[in-house]
Structure 1
């Protein structure tokens, strides 16, 4: 029985390998990709910073623009600011329910986007992370068409990651890879405070 099971497994894996090898052979393009991490679950920014670590491991240069966050005591900033190939900008005013000042938030978002445009036009930057950019569309701080045009005009090899909830349909359509984080449970719902090293 064991030999028969092994034979079935080997046959199934051989067929799967043929399918996977064919898909790999078809993927012949090499260019920068636009990734979107969206959804209501935890992990959108964390996933982007995981990609940042991977890119640095390949010797790439990167820029991070945070459009909403205003704090500079996060673990990711503390770590990545020490890396010579990373340019890190915390340019938000904080959560909108804290600031309660639309004009101030709008000015901050536009200043952050101006800084982002510098990197999106720089062929020396391999990866641009626009953390929480989707909120700039939700609150009307930035025009989606102008942002998509800047993405389309970026250097051909440059990768871009956008994070944030409620990614607009046009952004999803323009992206190469879109991941939606879904929440099953969150410790905060059970009264657990945001823990250093996990939430920030």
Structure 2
């Protein structure tokens, strides 16, 4: 019995497990102490930007979380137009009672090649977005690819910022996606994520594929 006790005490695997348990216990105490101070709630201004893939995908993940919780939400697409997407099809077919979906764009700017038309489409999308954000029943409003419209000055970024500051209901989340987010928008946002491009199959001759890109 003495030999077994001594052997157990010097067991390196058991020592590692003990150290790990003690380390995680200390981490939990520290984490719980931090979390106890996080009691506030507010509607967030969320920006997804950067050259990497996943900006809209991550935003739609939050929209589907809202749908899962039965929270009314809405989507306004500023650039994507005629192209079919899985997200739009799924929401319009099965969740239109919870999530409004407005595709207001006419395609990418290099496809339309008409600045006046692009400005008109972006302006109409912004008017729709403002109405949806003002409606306090909507817990989240996703402004998909609005950063592109702002980048090309189809919409005045200062107008967007002033509206979000003055008229966004306190508990409404607004998500703005697209590359090249304006510095002024990043400044007022509560949560900003930049998607970094490391590798992309497009550079290897692989086209966008259903279920991955759309």
TM-score interval w.r.t. the shorter chain?
over 0.9
Cα offsets for 1:37-89 (capped at 9, x unmatched): 11101110011111111111111011100001112511110001120111101
Aligned 8 A contact 2:106 2:121 in 1? yes
Q: Which stretch of structure 1 is more off in the superposition, 177-186 or 110-119?
A: 177-186
In 2, Cα distance between the equivalents of 1:133 and 1:22?
Answer: 38
Q: 1:18: how far off? A: 2.0
The aligned counterpart of 2:63 is: 52
Aligned 8 A contact 1:66 1:92 in 2? yes
Q: Secondary structure at the match of 2:141?
A: strand
In 1, Cα distance between the equivalents of 2:29 and 2:180?
Answer: 37
In 1, Cα distance between the equivalents of 2:76 and 2:63?
Answer: 13
Q: 1:184: how far off? A: 1.5
The aligned counterpart of 1:22 is: 33
In 2, Cα distance between the equivalents of 1:23 and 1:149?
Answer: 33
Q: Secondary structure at the match of 2:36?
A: helix
Higher Rg: 2
Say how many residue pairs are matched.
200
Extract unaligned runs of 5+ from structure 2: 1-11
The aligned counterpart of 1:6 is: 17
In 2, Cα distance between the equivalents of 1:161 and 1:173?
Answer: 14
Q: Secondary structure at the match of 1:162?
A: strand
The aligned counterpart of 1:39 is: 50
Cα offsets for 1:102-138 (capped at 9, x unmatched): 1110010000000001011111111100000111221
1:145 and 2:122 equivalent?
no
Aligned 8 A contact 2:74 2:142 in 1? yes
Q: 1:13: how far off? A: 0.8
Give the ranges of 4+ consecutive aligned residues of structure 1 lying more than 4 Å apart after TM superposition. none
How does 1:61-76 map onto structure 2 within 5 Å? 61-76=72-87
Match of 2:132 among 107, 112, 119: 119
- The TM-score with structure 1 as length reference comes to 0.96
Aligned 8 A contact 1:72 1:90 in 2? no
Match of 1:174 among 175, 182, 188: 188
In 1, Cα distance between the equivalents of 2:80 and 2:134?
Answer: 24
In 2, Cα distance between the equivalents of 1:127 and 1:120?
Answer: 8
1:196 and 2:200 equivalent?
no
- The TM-score with structure 2 as length reference comes to 0.90
